[in-house]
Structure 1
Amino acid sequence: MDAYKKAGVDINAGYKLVDEIKNLSKNSELGAFGGLFPLELGKYKNPVLVSGTDGVGTKLLIAIQAGLNETVGIDLVAMCVNDILAQGAKPLFFLDYLGIGHLDPDNAKKIVAGVVEGVKQAGAKLIGGETAEMPDMYTNGHYDLAGFAVGIADKDKLLNKAALREGDVLLGLGSNGLHSNGFSLVRDILFKQHDYKLADQLPGLDQDLKHELLRPTRIYVKSVLPLVEQGLIGSIAHITGGGLPENVARILPANLAAEFNYGTWPVPPIMNDLQKIGNLSFDDMKHTFNLGLGMVLAVHPENVDQVKAALSEAGEQVYQVGRLVSGFQEVIIRKD
């Protein structure tokens, strides 16, 4: 092992990290060749597994530069489990991959602690993962994160765009800032086109850039899943890369369009700042950022009041942002 350590890989540090993750996740079975999850079918009459995988993207470069790696694990889990939720499924378990140049156990523990917190917020279980120390692949403290989640639903109860109809109401759930998309543009505007520093504070913000840009992605599972299980939600769009136009279009049947009334929900100040500083068009904005909505729910009119009340009680910021109209899968954002 001394020869391997001289080559840049510390196996003992990896063993120590596994022990730390066992303690963090309270899962003593971690470290086996495969993760185990007892599948209790219970209420599921025609069960189907729903899986999703994703990463955090170049938001990681902000975390690395700022030396704040505690919350990117939440982002990682959110990107996967919110997608599973959008299918109408309950997240069950999660696995993560950490590729890193040099394994600093304390820093790696902070990264994985974020994963554990995200899994907790999703009501799921961390059952395994992989940490790869690759000094010739990642340098200067750089690392990459990827994740994989599996959920379950009754096949007949998966959310289906065929259930949507003209007049259905669009409810938007407030995002926690930028979430995990658009960071290549964010970095280009702030740090390449202009010479902002992470310690700077932009107008309208209540904190410096490093903390604003690293706001963790919201995980909507615990507030939305009960409503899905009660049959109160018609369809769900998780607003990630591509913004409202691309993601909402994915849930529309061929005969409907989505009409949003811009101004019926607040846009986070950071996005207004980026538009002004970067001289971005509204078209750039709507195709890059979530515009303040992390998730959009299509709800039949008779269920709207009940859904809004339940979401508010669960701590969500919920806005009535538009409706479904006759059309051809367009997403229209009206600005009066």
Structure 2
Amino acid sequence: MVTYKSAGVDKEEGYKSVGLIKDMVKRTYNKNVLTELGSFGALYELGKYNNPVLVSGTDGVGTKLKIAFTLNKYNTIGIDCVAMCVNDILCHGAKPLFFLDYLACGRLDAEVAAQIVSGITEGCLQSGAALVGGETAEMPGFYQPGEYDIAGFAVGVVEKDAVITGDKIREGDVIIGLPSSGVHSNGFSLVRKLITDLTIDFNGMPIGEALLTPTKIYVKPVLAVLEKFAVNGMAHITGGGLYENIPRVIPDGLCATIDKAKIKALPIFDLIEKLGVPREEMYGTFNMGLGFVMVVNPDNAANIVKILEENGEFPEIIGTITSGNEKICLK
């Protein structure tokens, strides 16, 4: 007799996985969530807005997953997945509403899946997004044993007259940088080529553990600012580093002039540089200790810094907007 299980898909393990994650997922619900986990579609009541604009974003964790596989540690990569999505939509001033995940593997292990979803749940709690659903795909023969892929999708909302695109950035504006927690979720193909032994000591812990430090979520501190002050532009520093991401919000004819001395490179980036990566290459690959950037009116800068500090951030004024065609200049 041929069954689905004999072909490599264990439905019972899938049912077990749902049972393990159901209570975790419910922790992220709010009054706007109208359906339970397991429905064909997630229903979310938008609530009262004058002219709402929905902002969506999708992303994954990349080859950072390989380090999680090697260390058999899965409870942080879900935070990365949420962070990569919600930090992106935050750049337009959007408050995250809900999140869906996609988890694929060759053979499902319910305990591993529960660890991954525990991280997704934590990321949703940090960002205020409801985890309203997802998909677990068991694909024997497609993924290597013990390997998983994870991606996510976030939807947020912002009033149309409050959408942030960078078009209001002007010469003389101040650039505020928010520190990253580590490498976040970009550049790991290069990191893994340089660091092959994940057990070596790095600041009192195995370097593999340090590399799995989850991506920082900036939603709540930034939304606290937006409640009181206008922000002219924001950038999430992801793949492509500072050189690629900051210019995405800078209007033509202007330049983000940044003092490199104000960017506090984390020790992990000093190590990567010592392993052979030129510093300029690193500014175009990694966040270099700067995970999120805000461009604000100079008259509001001091008060915005204060709000960020009150919400647990360590902001640094790293530069100004000047005239020029370069879009970004690191000095």
TM norm. shorter chain > 0.5: yes
C-alpha deviations, 1:33-67, integer Å up to 9, x for none?
Answer: 11111211x2x211110000000000000001111
Amino acid in the other structure paired with 1:5: K
Match of 2:265 in 1: 267
- Alpha-carbon distance in structure 2 between the residues aligned to 1:251 and 1:77: 22
Given the alignment of the two structures, is residue 124 of structure 1 paired with residue 129 of structure 2, yes or no? yes
Structure 1 letter corresponding to 2:280: D
Distance 2:205 2:319 in 1: 31
- 8 Å CA contact 1:8–1:102 kept in 2: the answer is yes
Aligned to 2:323: 326
Q: State the identity as a percent.
A: 50
Q: 1: distance between equivalents of 2:244 and 2:326?
A: 10
Q: Unmatched 5+ residue regions in structure 1?
A: 192-196
2:229–2:300 CA contact under 8 A, matched in 1: no
Aligned to 2:32: none
C-alpha distance in structure 2 between counterparts of 1:45 and 1:96, whole Å: 29
**Using the alignment, how far apart are the partners of 2:126 and 2:2 within structure 1?**
40
Alignment of 1:286-325 (within 5 A): 286-325=283-322
Which of 55, 71, 75 aligns to 1:50? It is: 55
**Preserved CA contact (<8 Å) 1:85 1:91:** yes
The residue matched to 2:3 in structure 1 has which SS? helix
Root-mean-square deviation (Å): 1.3
Distance 1:80 1:168 in 2: 27
Cα contact 1:253–1:329 (8 A) shared by 2: no
Count of aligned pairs between the two proteins: 324
Deviation at 1:2, TM superposition (A): 7.2
Pairwise CA distance, 1:82: 0.3
Are 1:103 and 2:101 counterparts? no
How far is 1:159 from its partner? 0.7
How many Å apart are 1:19 and its aligned residue? Answer: 2.2
Q: Distance in 2 between matches of 1:206 and 1:123?
A: 33
Cα distance in structure 1, aligned partners of 2:178 and 2:223: 14
Deviation at 1:254, TM superposition (A): 0.5
1:1-336 correspondence runs (5 A): 3-26=3-26, 29-40=36-47, 42=48, 44-191=49-196, 197-202=197-202, 205-277=203-275, 279-334=276-331
**What are the Cα deviations for residues 152-175 of structure 1, in whole angstroms up to 9, with x where unaligned?**
011111013221111111110000
Distance, in Å, in 2 between the alignment partners of 1:53 and 1:198 is 29
2:23 aligns to what SS in structure 1? Answer: helix
What is the deviation of 1:284? 1.1
8 Å Cα contact 1:98/1:132 also seen in 2: yes
Per mean C-alpha deviation after superposition, the further-off stretch among 123-132 and 224-233 is: 224-233
Q: What residue ranges of structure 2 are gaps of 5+ in the alignment?
A: 30-34
Rate the CA distance shift 1:301–1:206 in 2: closer, same or farther, 3 A.
farther
> Could you tell me the TM-score, scaled by structure 1's length?
0.94
- Partner SS, residue 225 of structure 1: helix
TM-score by length of 2: 0.95
1:200-259 deviation line (CA, Å, top 9, x unaligned): 114xx2321111100000000011012123333211000000001110000001021001
Q: SS in structure 2 opposite 1:237? A: strand
Provide the rounded CA distance (Å) in 1 between the counterparts of 2:117 and 2:234. 29
Provide closer, same or farther for how the CA distance between residues 169 and 135 of structure 1 changes in structure 2, counting only shifts above 3 A.
same
